[in-house]
Structure formats: structure tokens, C-alpha cells
Amino acid sequence: MISRVILALAAQCLALSAVLMCGGCGSKGERALNVVGSTSIQPFAELLAQEYEKKNTGKQVDVQGGGSTAGLQAVANDLADVGMCSRSLKADEITRFSQVVIARDGIAIVVNKSNPMHALTLDQIREIFAGRITDWKEMGGKPGPIRPITREEGSGTRESFVHLVMGKDRISRKVLTQESNGAVKELVKGDTAAIGYMSLGLVGEELSALVINNAAPTSENVLAGTYTLSRPFLFVTDGEAKPDAQKFIDFVLSDDGQCLLEMEGLVRVR
């Protein structure tokens, strides 16, 4: 009796594996739209997806993070239908992908709420992240070590930060690395000596965003251009977007979509 059961199971599993292997090579069929990429755009895309699903019953949109470059990779590897990218595309990427700007967002330089520092210049921030300024007292703050936090290399926020702040300078190797906006936020929340950069739209009440070069970190200033740390939010597709993807992108660019983004703290583009 046991023998028959075991035999049957073994044969079944072999067959199952064979079927699954072949099934995987076939077409995907009816499934949800995969939107993958920037952790900065992710929360906003989630909200957009929920609104979109409410207005279009039956349609489904899956939003996942991983970072801007991961999003581009996912689109290139056919793992995602739409990639979210929170930086401008590089030269070789522009030829490879099609892009749509869905909003603009500022990059906030954040410190712990109990940090007395409220304003810095762009140069000072560069010096901090390059590892040349290491103590808060060098800028008039409470004496103590500075702990800068950066994002991983594939992050669009990091790329934009490097482009806008660091210029030719490299971020010091001693700097702590976290892999999403949320992780940076949590770390800065817990460490009074920490300083990090993250999406302006995600800062919230729990952190202190610094005034940079005399411009306050608000979406109005981003729109006006006085707060210079800003970058585009892009939706990226492999060539022309498939109909499902295009429908979603159209929704995001519609008045409803743009209003939602504006309410959440981004700068609308339509």
C-alpha cells in the first residue's frame, strides 16, 4: 500500500515538474500589470494603482520596489511591463527605452528631529558625503560625529543626488548604505547624528528636512526652481507600451492621476 502511494507520488512529481517547465516557456496570458522600480515612486504608484483599479474593475496593477535601475532591468528582461525610474535616463538607456515623465520630486536632505541644524549649503553637503567634514561642530552644530547615509548604487535617488550634489566627487566608502527610502527614514529617525537624502514627498513629520542654499524644501520651491535638488519621476517601457500599460500611464497623466500626486506632495507635470 505504502509502496503504491510512494510510487504514484514520485511519478506525479516528475510529471508535474515536466509540465511546469514547459508551461513556463509559454505565453503569460491574463495577468496583472507589473510595475517595478524606484522605491521613491513606489508609494505613489501604489496609490495610483488603487485608484486605477477602483475606476477600472477587473484591471489589476502590481507595484514592486527594488530601485530605479532594477526597474529598468526588469523591463529589459521582460519581468515588468512598466519600470519606475526616479532619475533622468542615461544616453544608452534613452535609445533602449521609451519614457514618460509623470511628476517631479525634490530630494530632501534629512536629519533627526532633535538635530539643531536647520540649514546647510550644497557645498557643505558635498563635503559631508565625501567624508571631508566629519563633525557637526564644523558647521556650527552640537559637537559630535556626523553619520551620513547613502542609498545603494542602483537607486535613482542616489544617482540624482550624485549628479546634483556630488558632481565629480565620490561618496565616501565609509558611509552607511540602506536599500530604500523607507530604510533611510527609519535609520535617521533613530540616530541623532545621522544625515541622509530621500524623496521629498516621503519625508513626513518624523524627520527634519534641511533648508538648502536658502531654499526651503517644499514642492512650491521645487516647481519654482529655487530648491534645486529635484529630479523627474519616469514611467519607462520597452519600446511602445502595451495597451494595458498604456491605459495605466494615461490614467496617471490624466487630471485625476495628477491631482492625486499633487495632493501627496509631488509636482505635477500635466
Partner 1 sequence: MRVSPFLSQRIVVVILWALAAITVGVLLYIIAYILIHGLPHLSLSFLTLSPEYMGRRGGVFPMVVGTLLVTGLAVLIAAPIGVATAIYLTEYTREGKMTAVIRFGADCLAGVPSIIFGLFGFVFFAITLGMGMSVISGALTLTLMVLPTIIRTSEEAIRTVPHSYREVSYGLGSTRWQMVTNVVLRSALPGICTGVVLSIGRSISETAAVMLTAGSALRLPHSLFDSSRTLALHFYILSREGISMPNAYATASVLIISILALNLVAYWLMHRFAVKVR
Partner 2 sequence: MKQDKVISTILFLVALSAISGLALITVFIFKEGVPIIARVGGRQFFLSSDWDPGLGHFGIFSMIIGSVAVTAGAMVIGIVFGLGLAIVLTQFAPRTIAGMLKPAIELLAGIPSVVFGFMGVVTLVPLIRTYLGGPGLSVLASSMVLGIMVLPTITSISIDALQAVPRTYWEGSVALGATRWQTTHMVLLKAARSGIVAAAILGMGRAVGETMAVIMVAGNTLEIPRSLLDPTRTLTSNIALEMAYASGDHRQALFATGVTLFVIIMLLNTVALAVSRRRSGRGGVR
Residue ranges binding partner 2 (CB under 8 A): 3, 7, 10-11, 13-14, 17, 66-70, 72-73, 76, 147, 152-154, 173-179, 190-191, 193-194
**Footprint of partner 1 on residues 161-180 (CB under 8 A)?**
180
Q: Is residue 91 part of the contact set for partner 1 (CB under 8 A)? A: no
Taking the complex as a whole, how short is the minimal distance between the CB of residue 121 and partner 1, in angstroms?
29
Taking the complex as a whole, how short is the minimal distance between the CB of residue 55 and partner 2, in angstroms?
31
Taking the complex as a whole, how short is the minimal distance between the CB of residue 50 and partner 1, in angstroms?
7
Rounded to 5 degrees, what are φ and ψ at 229?
-80, 85
Total residues contacting partner 1 by CB under 8 A comes to 42
Taking the complex as a whole, how short is the minimal distance between the CB of residue 267 and partner 1, in angstroms?
22
Partner whose footprint covers residue 16, from partner 2, partner 1, none (CB < 5 to 8 Å by kind): partner 1
CA distance 78 to 59: 20
Please say which residue, 104 or 147, places its beta carbon nearer to partner 2: 147
Please say which residue, 194 or 198, places its beta carbon nearer to partner 2: 194
Q: Is residue 151 part of the contact set for partner 1 (CB under 8 A)? A: no
CB atoms within 10 A of CB 136: 21
Instruction: Please answer whether residues 157 and 40 qualify as being in contact, where contact means their C-beta atoms are separated by less than 8 angstroms.
Output: yes
CA distance 79 to 72: 10
Partner whose footprint covers residue 112, from partner 1, partner 2, none (CB < 5 to 8 Å by kind): none
User: From residue 48, how far is each of 43, 56, 83, 161, 268 by CA, in Å?
Assistant: 9, 12, 14, 26, 14
Taking the complex as a whole, how short is the minimal distance between the CB of residue 139 and partner 1, in angstroms?
28
* Residue 142, CA atoms < 13 Å, CB-side half-sphere: 9
Binding-site member from 139, 166, 182, 215 for partner 1 (CB under 8 A):
182
Our CA angle for 171, 173, 175, nearest 5°, is 80
Q: Which residues contact 144 (CB under 8 A, 6 or more apart)?
A: 135, 136, 137, 192, 193
